[in-house]
């Protein structure tokens, strides 16, 4: 956690207050054009079966997708692809009864990650929390 604080200290030190310009928002709304349709998973990194397993995948991805600092090799794409591979190999990997039992080393093994994940204990805690949602 200290690495996160250290790497974000500059931003916190130099930040200033933000003001929302309501008139500016209205101007954008009046002038905005059509938004192009983006196909789901145009990058090919997400699991998709058009069913409940996709929702479970998204719950797990969303729970684990935070703060990868200071590990420059672990990022969203790695996480999304890793979780996709997990489900392609074992469609019961995100079942509620399994989510409540995962440990840090097991999560690393699932993602094929060679070292502790940043904030690994918190990630595991959130996996356990998903158990109560499913």
Where residue 1 falls among pLDDT bands split at 50, 70, 90?
low
Arithmetic mean of pLDDT over the chain: 86
Cβ contact 64:128 at 8 Å: no
Chain position carrying tokens 């789901």: 40
User: Which residues fall within 8 angstroms of residue 92, CB to CB, at 6 or more apart?
Assistant: 98
Higher pLDDT, residue 132 or 55:
55
pLDDT for the residue 66: 86
Higher pLDDT, residue 8 or 31:
31
Q: What is the mean pLDDT of residues 5-29?
A: 77
Cβ contact 50:102 at 8 Å: no
How far, in Å, are 24, 59, 61, 88 from residue 78 at the CA level?
37, 16, 11, 15
Q: What is the mean pLDDT of residues 57-74?
A: 84
pLDDT(106) > 90: yes
What would the pLDDT profile of 69-100 be if each residue is shown by its tens digit? Answer: 667 778 888 899 999 999 999 999 999 999 99
Residues in the chain: 134
């Amino acid at each position: 956690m200290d690495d996160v604080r250290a790497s974000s200290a500059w931003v916190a030190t130099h930040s200033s207050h933000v003001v929302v310009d309501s008139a500016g928002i209205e101007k954008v709304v009046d002038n905005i054009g059509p938004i192009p349709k983006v196909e789901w998973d145009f990058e090919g990194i997400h699991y998709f079966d058009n069913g409940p397993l996709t929702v479970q995948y998204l719950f797990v991805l969303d729970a684990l997708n935070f703060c990868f600092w200071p590990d420059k090799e672990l990022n969203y794409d790695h996480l999304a692809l890793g979780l996709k591979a997990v489900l392609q190999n074992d469609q019961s990997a995100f079942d509620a009864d399994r989510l409540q039992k995962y440990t840090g080393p097991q999560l690393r093994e699932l993602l094929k990650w060679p070292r502790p994940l940043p904030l690994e204990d918190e990630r595991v805690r959130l996996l356990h929390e998903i158990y109560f949602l499913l």
